[in-house]
Structure formats: C-alpha cells, structure tokens
Amino acid sequence: MLPMTMHWDSLCACDFFTVEALGLSGTVRYMVFFVMAIKTRTVEIAGIAANPDGEWMKQMARNLTDTVDGFLRNATYLIRDRDPLFSKAFEDILEDRGVQCAEIPAQSPNCNPHAERFVKTVREECLNHLGVTRRSRLGGMLNFYVREAA
C-alpha cells in the first residue's frame, strides 16, 4: 500500500455507484463513475452510463488525463477497486499519461475509505431525497451537489 503522506498531493481515488431512475419504459439503473482528490476531497463526476463498457471506460481515462482540464492531469496514483470495467486498456491509457493504478484487495472497501464515504454521503444528502427520472437530471443533481459540497 502507498504511504499516503508522501504522495498526498498526487493521490486520487475512483469508484462507481448505482442510481435507479424511473422512466417511461420502467426502471433504469445508471452507473455513476466518480474521481476524488484525496487531499482536498474534491470530487468530479466523470461519467454516467446505463451500460458502461470498455470503450466508454477508455474515453473516461482519456478525459480524466487531458492535459488542459483533466481531473487526473496532476495525479500520480489512482486508487481503484477490482471492478471488471477497469480494464487493461483503461489502465494502459492512465499509465501512458503518468498515472499509476493502485488496485485494492478484493472485497476490501475499507482500503478506499474516502470514495466509500462519498458514496454514503451523496446518497444520504442528495439522492435519497430527490426522485430521478432522466440521466440529464441525475447528472445535473450530482454536479450541483459536488460543486456546493466543496
């Protein structure tokens, strides 16, 4: 595991959480992908998709490491779990741009506590109080929440 004080400024974490939305054709489960700077607890909603796949994740990696405004442009380490969506291609894009992935042990959410706490907080303070009917509404709510929580 990484000694956090040595890499505090360049350490980030990421994870997914799900949100169910009621639509005209029934319930849709969205996967929300977020990234957090550990030192400042700043969060960016990187993407929301009903069916994320490898191509979507590669685009997320490219967006996050963009040299102008990518959230991970100054990061060195990204803590992540073992979700299969974090493919080799996703990791390769990050590593090509100087971000090393630190994979936590299986079934050990306590090894990524800042991300897990964010999920709990966003559910309790935002999502449990508002009904979601569209992906765009979900994105707007989450982006407003992370801007105002900062």
What are 85-117's pLDDT values in tens digits? 999 999 999 999 999 999 999 888 889 999 999
Kindly tell me if the per-residue pLDDT of 7 is higher than 80: no
> Residue 119 has which token pair?
């999920």
- Quick one: how far is CA 64 from the chain centroid? 10
- Distance CA(28)–CA(88), nearest Å, equals 28
CA distances (Å), 5 to each of 21, 28, 42, 79, in order? 40, 41, 17, 15
- Phi, psi (deg, nearest 5) at residue 128: -75, -10
Q: Is residue 3 part of a domain?
A: no
Contact assessment for residue 44 and residue 147, using Cβ atoms and an 8 Å cutoff:
no
Q: Is residue 29 part of a domain?
A: yes
Domain of residue 95, CATH code: 3.30.420.10
Q: Is residue 1 part of a domain?
A: no
Q: Is residue 96 part of a domain?
A: yes
Positive or negative: CA dihedral 81, 60, 75, 99: positive
| 40-52 confidence digits (pLDDT tens) | 999 999 999 999 9
Q: Is residue 107 part of a domain?
A: yes
Domain count, the chain: 1
Q: Is residue 126 part of a domain?
A: yes
Single pTM value for the model = 0.90
Q: Is residue 55 part of a domain?
A: yes
Kindly tell me if the per-residue pLDDT of 2 is higher than 60: no
**Domain enclosing residue 111, as ranges:** 8-149
Q: Is residue 145 part of a domain?
A: yes
The band of 149, judged by pLDDT with boundaries at 50, 70 and 90, is: confident
Contact assessment for residue 50 and residue 28, using Cβ atoms and an 8 Å cutoff:
yes
